[in-house]
Amino acid sequence: MTENQYDLMIAGTGPAGLTAAIYGQRLGMKVVVFGDTPGGNLYMIETLMNYPGFIGGIAGTQFGVATFRQAQEEGAEFPMTLLEKLSHTNNRFAGIDGNTSEFSAPVAIVASGRKPKILEVPNADKPGMHFCSICDGPLFRNKNATLAVVGGDNMAGQHALTLARIADRVILIHAGDRLKMEAVLHKKIETKENIDILLNTEVVGFTGPDHINGIIVSTKQEEKQEIPIDGAFTAFGWRPNIDMLKIPVETTSEGYIKTDEKLMTSFPGLFAAGDVRDTDMWQVITACADGARAAKYASEFLEAF
């Protein structure tokens, strides 16, 4: 096999992609994996509490790096660049990475995960808008800060708890009438005296000349009001990360890739795993399971290729 030709090409270094790499190598395939962050979005999880085998939890970054190293030990290759384009030509999948290097393989797995949605409201693009509390929360340490968290899922809950140890006040804002996070996470938030929860509250804009210094919210009962803040962290939704995919595949209305029972997409030889595909559960453990199954069925497809 010539240089840059592989049996299996994987887009994504999150739990799904790394697990697929581990299983792919163990199934005898030559695997290349694209991504620039070991563990993918795991770095946004301060403590992964619901993965079996880790009593008391494990840091998301630690889990991601350990899984990455395991895939390396199995022999998977990591250019450590993002896959900029994935297409199909001459009966093979063709990939171009961030260094414009070309790669090819007869089978491929898209495990590129999701990206946080950006609030489409006035001034949401100004400095002071953040997506990772672990990364950017320390910027507000010892500043008597008031921080807003927009969202109501597990990630929003993680943000709120992380920031509650740093800021004087955290305001958790959710448009729905109840939080959509795990009960144990919800209970922890309720015990924090410096976390205020605003339900049925919609964010309609931000204020500040050069840097966000206020958030404008609206409720059904009251007129718009501005709340002074020092920064905002959003976790109000996600979108699948498939910008690099230049192959026609069937997707949901929100862009998630549809797969069959073997995790193959509507395009033969192209599989999808983890948060990027149409699934009913976006969890680390299900992403890992997807990666293992996708590698198994990719191997079977390769044998018949």
Neighbours of 30 (CB within 10 A): 15
User: How high is the pLDDT of residue 2?
Assistant: 54
| Nearest one of 28, 22, 26, 23 to 6, comparing CA atoms | 28
Segment 225-238 mean pLDDT:
93
User: How high is the pLDDT of residue 300?
Assistant: 98
Binning pLDDT at 50, 70 and 90, where does residue 223 land?
Answer: confident
Taking all residues of the chain, what is their mean pLDDT, rounded to a whole number?
95
Say if residue 260's pLDDT is above 60: yes
Bridge partners of 162, per DSSP, are none
Segment 281-293 mean pLDDT:
96
Tens of pLDDT, residues 141-199: 999 999 999 999 999 999 999 999 999 999 999 999 999 999 999 999 999 999 999 99
Percent of the chain with pLDDT strictly greater than 90: 90
> Counting every residue, how long is the chain?
305
Where along the chain do its domains lie?
8-116+238-303, 129-234
Segment 246-255 mean pLDDT:
97
Percent of the chain with pLDDT strictly greater than 70: 99
- Please tell me the class of the 129-234 domain: alpha beta
What three-state secondary structure class fits 17? helix
Strand segments (E) across the chain: 8-11, 31-34, 83-89, 92-97, 102-105, 107-110, 114-116, 129-130, 146-150, 169-173, 195-198, 201-207, 214-219, 225-228, 231-234, 238-240, 270-272
User: How high is the pLDDT of residue 28?
Assistant: 97
User: How high is the pLDDT of residue 289?
Assistant: 98
Q: How far is CA 287 from CA 15, 18, 51, 223, 273, in A?
A: 6, 10, 11, 42, 7
Exposed e or buried b for every residue in 165-202, given b needs 16+ CB within 10 A?
Answer: ebbebbbbbbbeeebebeeebbebbeebeebebbeebb
Tell me the C-alpha distance between 162 and 257, whole Å: 32
Q: 8-116+238-303 has which CATH code?
A: 3.50.50.60
User: How high is the pLDDT of residue 52?
Assistant: 96
Say if residue 218's pLDDT is above 90: yes
Binning pLDDT at 50, 70 and 90, where does residue 118 land?
Answer: confident
User: How high is the pLDDT of residue 90?
Assistant: 92
Task: State CA 138 to chain mean position distance.
Answer: 21
Give the count of alpha carbons within 13 A of 24, CB side only. Answer: 34
- Per-residue tokens: 99: 């260094």
Helices (H), the chain: 15-26, 60-74, 133-136, 154-164, 183-190, 284-303
User: How high is the pLDDT of residue 246?
Assistant: 97
The model carries a pTM of 0.87
User: How high is the pLDDT of residue 111?
Assistant: 98
Asked if the domains 8-116+238-303 and 129-234 are classified in one and the same CATH topology, the answer is: yes
Instruction: Provide the residue type at 117 as one letter.
Output: K
Cβ–Cβ < 8 Å for 255, 245: no
| Nearest one of 266, 267, 261, 252 to 294, comparing CA atoms | 261
